[in-house]
Amino acid sequence: MTDYTLHYWQQKAEKLSLEGRAFIGGCYVDSASEKVFSCNSPIDNRQLTEISRCDLADVDQAVAVARKSFESGVWSKAAPVKRKATLLKFADLIAQHQEELALLETLDMGKPISDSMAVDLPGTLRCLRWSAEAIDKIYDEVAPTPENELGMVTHEPCGVVAAIVPWNFPLQMASWKIGPALAAGNSVILKPSEKSPLTAIRIAGLAKEAGIPDGVFNVLPGFGHEVGKALALHHDVDTLAFTGSTAIAKQLMIYAGESNLKRVWSEAGGKSPNIVFADAPDLLAAAQAAAGAFCFNQGEVCTAGTRLLVEESIKDEFIEHLIAAVKQWVPGNPLDPKTNVGAIVDETQHQRILGYIAKGSDQGGKLQTGGSAASPVANGFYIEPTVFSDVANDMVIAQDEIFGSVLSVISFKDETEAIQIANDTPYGLAAGIWTSNFAKAHKMAKAVRAGSVWVNQWDGGDMTAPFGGFKQSGNGRDKSLHAFSKYTEIKATWMKLD
């Protein structure tokens, strides 16, 4: 059994061979302009490699290749059992390269290597395998008809699917899109974030090795919004799946309306309430979970529980438990398996989080712990997990999605006020409820406007449960059988039999 140590991962990192080119039509290629941008590690801000800076010309080429592969039927018309076998082989190859891919995630966006190995890679494999296994078990329908007619309801692949994915869980979020999209028979163009493109580029080669036909799976790295905008405006892209900010989700829908009215499915921002009642079954366990809910992945999580709603009668006691739990989350070298708080993805995000911490103090929040930059590795980007108490829900730190480990503690008097505060946000992605009273839990779960509600835990569910949000947290759902509805068209066929 491998002895994972800081030295092990540092040695492995030194031997890595990094690919930075786009993947179009089954080949790694330079961008048409031959432009590149620098890919730096937030661990120490050193350059890892250069990445192809794709633009409209590359989008046109990739879409044409994807359309040709789709219309050829080489994948779209292949038997579901054949697509399943190929995707399972794809997952097996990712499993064989899991150390390499986990290391790329950590080097690229700064998450702890222990999380890359224990969370991101297993989640990716579970999604791909689950989606592959599901596709030959989804049945079409026969409508109730008169004796001399036959009515059929069938699901067909959309065509060319563009998937734009974020930088916080680069590979896992990609799998949530490409798993069902490929399983359903579509041709896919994956656009990773410029902040974390390495794993998306790497798995393209593994997809080809697994037997996914040329042109069916393409990867277009880009800088800024160049590639994403071009995909959203392209008249030959049928479906666009996006995970990222609410502002960008709105813009992509505008682009779709300005072009071919392509379907746009988005999982956008969040400002999730974690509600702790005085009758929670275990206040210590609730405090530990509350700490993890905003500290995990440096707080760079769309479902982060960054609004902690605590019943007034236990507020002081609970904050004591919370602070003790938060102090166990300490920034360190992401390549050290003992580290549980890694680096912030880049300097821009680092400064953004520190700016919100300053606003929290300026607006009257009481700083309980953290609040400063840290430096476990020279030149890297690190911030201490930060807790503010005495926060009003209209403060900027309670309303804006900071995407960093900054927690706002807000007190409430009763269920009615808890619901009012929980729903007083433009977002509706997730919520947590801690109570021993399951009648109360049911009532609260129904009242809170969120796509996922977790009772006496944080971040529950698996591939069998849909994931997505209410309100400005987006539309559509990832994971579960519901995800396939994003990547298929429903056709009604009605036949006269006499």
**156 has catalytic annotation:** no
Residues 205 and 304 in one domain: no
Query: Taking residues 209-218, what's their average pLDDT?
Result: 98
Q: Provide the residue type at 204 as one letter.
A: A
Residue 74: band (very low, low, confident or very high) from pLDDT cuts 50, 70, 90? very high
Residue 498: band (very low, low, confident or very high) from pLDDT cuts 50, 70, 90? confident
Query: Taking residues 14-26, what's their average pLDDT?
Result: 97
Residue 10 tokens, joined: 């540092």
Residue 479 tokens, joined: 């994971």
pLDDT tens figures, 117-127: 999 999 999 99
pLDDT tens figures, 384-442: 999 999 999 999 999 999 999 999 999 999 999 999 999 999 999 999 999 999 999 99
Query: Taking residues 166-192, what's their average pLDDT?
Result: 98
pLDDT tens figures, 302-340: 999 999 999 999 999 999 999 999 999 999 999 999 999
pLDDT tens figures, 25-54: 999 999 999 999 999 999 999 999 999 999
pLDDT at residue 2 is higher than 90: no
Q: What CA–CA distance (Å, rounded) separates 417 from 393?
A: 11
**Catalytically annotated residue among 267, 300, 311, 384:** 267
Evaluate whether 163 touches 136 at the Cβ level (below 8 Å).
Answer: no
Residues 234 and 117 in one domain: yes
Q: What CA–CA distance (Å, rounded) separates 163 from 174?
A: 8
Q: Is residue 236 part of a domain?
A: yes
Residues 453 and 361 in one domain: yes
Residues 205 and 296 in one domain: no
Of 214, 243, 268, the residue at which a domain comes to its end is 268
Q: Is residue 287 part of a domain?
A: yes
Residues 86 and 39 in one domain: yes
Q: Mean of the per-residue pLDDT values for the chain?
A: 97
Residues 454 and 362 in one domain: yes
pLDDT at residue 1 is higher than 80: no
Residues 169 and 261 in one domain: yes
Evaluate whether 359 touches 392 at the Cβ level (below 8 Å).
Answer: no
Evaluate whether 157 touches 237 at the Cβ level (below 8 Å).
Answer: no
Which phi and psi angles does 45 have, rounded to 5°? 65, 20
Residues 91 and 210 in one domain: yes
Structural domains counted in the chain: 2
Residue 272 tokens, joined: 């999730």
Domain that holds residue 188: 18-143+155-268
**Catalytically annotated residue among 54, 226, 302, 311:** 302
Q: Is residue 207 part of a domain?
A: yes
Residue 129: band (very low, low, confident or very high) from pLDDT cuts 50, 70, 90? very high
